[in-house]
Structure formats: C-alpha cells, structure tokens
Amino acid sequence: MVMNPNLRKFVRTAHITVAVGWLGAVASFLVLAVTGLTSPDTQLVRAAYLATDLLTRYIILPLSLVPLLLTGPVLSLGTPWGLFRHYWIVVKLLINILSTLILLVHLQPISYLAQVAAERTLSSADRDVQVQLVAAAAAGLLALLVETALAVFKPRGLTPYGWRKKNEELDLSSSSDIST
Amino acid sequence: MSQSPIKPDRQSPPGMPRWVKVFVILFIVLILVVIALHLTGTNIGGHIPHMP
C-alpha cells in the first residue's frame, strides 16, 4: 500500500522529528553521565543522575519506541522503499532494535543511580555503574549518528527479497504494456 | 548500429554490497571484543551494588 503524498510528508516529518530528538536526548544524557562520572561537585553529580532518570523515562524511551514501532515501519511499508528491500533500511532497523534493547537493559542501572543520588552521595562502589552509563550513552550516540548517515546517504544495495520484488514489478509492468 | 541495452541476469540476485560486509565484520568484531572483555574480567561497567 502506497500512502498519498500529504500523509507521506506528515509521517516523514514525524519520523525525522522523533529520530533527531532521540539523538539530541542521548547527547544530553551523555553530557549528564560524563558530568556524574567526572565532576568533583557532589551536589552537581546527584542532580545529574536524577536528571538522567527523568530524561530516560520521559524522553529517550518514548523517542526510541516511536520510530521502531510506528513511524519507521509505516514510512517504509507505505512507500516504494519497503522494509526489507534495501540493505540500508534493514541495517537501520537492526541498529534501532539493538539500541532500544541496550537502552532497556540500562534502565535498571539508571534508576539505581538516581535512587542513590536521591538518598546519599555516590561512593566508589558505584563507579562501575557510572562508567557503564557513559559507555552505553557514547555507543548509543554513535549508533544513532550511523543511522542518520544511512538515512541521508541511502547506500545502494537491494536485498534478495528486494531484487525479487523489483523483478516481479518489472514483469507486471511489461506484461501490462504488452496487453495495452 | 543500435545495440540493445544489457539486461540484468534475473536468475541470480546481486551479491551483498561491500559496505554491508564491512558493517557485518564490525558487528562481529564488537561482539568478540565484548565477549573477550567479559572472559578476561575487564567488564565495562558491572553489576549494580546492593542498596544499603
């Protein structure tokens, strides 16, 4: 099913807005996580980890799920691009799934540090978890930058499924040309 | 002299592009690095300490 141009523009606008918002939110998370790991100011560190929890729950998590479950599939399946026809879309989808899984795995450490920050000053026992958040945020940011580059450059390459569908469409159009 | 355009061979689908192969290799290397770090005990991050 191919969407009409106005609906397609609307979904594309929503998709780009959400994806860019996700990128910005993860960059903000990284700044807070680095601040929490490196700042000597204990009050600032506690504030940073309380902020990371809010940022994750109300911005990053929803923004990660919308393009994965809603705008991405709708935009792919509602346009001739398809979801599994081009390698760049498949790779983007896999990065998206992996990033969201990594985010879900890190919800617990994020809420743990926020809980600690709400009650007391962080100790050296929390250091590993603090490093973990910086590493995860940096990896997430890199993955989202790669995704953005893939969406802009759209590198060539049809999957075997995309190649088959293209041939089917070519056969269909040539047979309809002959019949007219 | 007119030549007919070369039609792609429809029997065999095109191979995986080089950039996809690079992505696959990088992904495998990343997984191996993570496994190696875990096996050597050089864990990035770690377990969550128990709340007092």
- pLDDT tens per residue, range A87-122: 999 999 999 999 999 899 899 999 999 999 999 999
Question: Tell me, what's the pLDDT at B19?
Answer: 94
Comparing CB atoms, the residue among B13, B19, B44 nearest residue A135 is B44
CA distances A164 to A80, A141, B10, B17, Å, are 14, 35, 9, 16
Contact B45 A108 (CB under 8 A): no
> Which option is the CATH number for A5-179: 1.20.120, 3.30.70, 2.60.40, 1.10.3470?
1.20.120
Residue of B nearest to A127 (CA): B45
Total count of residues recorded for chain B:
52
Contact A131 B14 (CB under 8 A): no
Q: Which positions ≥6 away from A102 have C-beta within 8 Å?
A: A136, A139, A140
Q: With residue B32 as reference, give the H or E element that holds it.
A: helix B18-39
Contact B23 A91 (CB under 8 A): yes
Spatial distance between the Cα atoms of A65 and A59, rounded to a whole number of angstroms: 10
Question: Tell me, what's the pLDDT at B38?
Answer: 74
Comparing CB atoms, the residue among A108, A125, A133 nearest residue B49 is A125
Q: Is A133 on the interface with B (CB under 8 A)?
A: yes
pTM equals 0.83
B7, pLDDT greater than 60: no
Spatial distance between the Cα atoms of A93 and A72, rounded to a whole number of angstroms: 8
Q: Is B30 on the interface with A (CB under 8 A)?
A: no
The token duo for B18 is 């080089």
Q: Is A84 on the interface with B (CB under 8 A)?
A: no
Comparing CB atoms, the residue among A87, A108, A158 nearest residue B48 is A108
Residues of B in contact with A135 (CB under 8 A): 44-45
Interface predicted TM-score (ipTM) of this complex, two decimals: 0.71
Spatial distance between the Cα atoms of A25 and A32, rounded to a whole number of angstroms: 11
Which one is predicted more confidently, B48 or A42?
Answer: A42
The type of residue at A60 is I
Average pLDDT for residues A125-144, to the nearest whole number?
Answer: 92
Helix ranges, chain A (H): 5-38, 42-55, 61-66, 72-77, 87-105, 107-119, 127-153, 160-179
Comparing CB atoms, the residue among B19, B44, B49 nearest residue A155 is B19
Q: Is A80 on the interface with B (CB under 8 A)?
A: no
Residue of B nearest to A88 (CA): B20
Confidence of residue B15 (pLDDT cuts 50, 70, 90): confident
Work out the angle at residue B49's Cα, subtended by the Cα atoms of residues B48 and B51, and round it to the nearest 5 degrees: 115
Q: Which positions ≥6 away from B13 have C-beta within 8 Å?
A: A158, A160, A163, A164
CA distances A113 to A27, A30, A103, B43, Å, are 19, 15, 15, 18
Question: Tell me, what's the pLDDT at B39?
Answer: 79
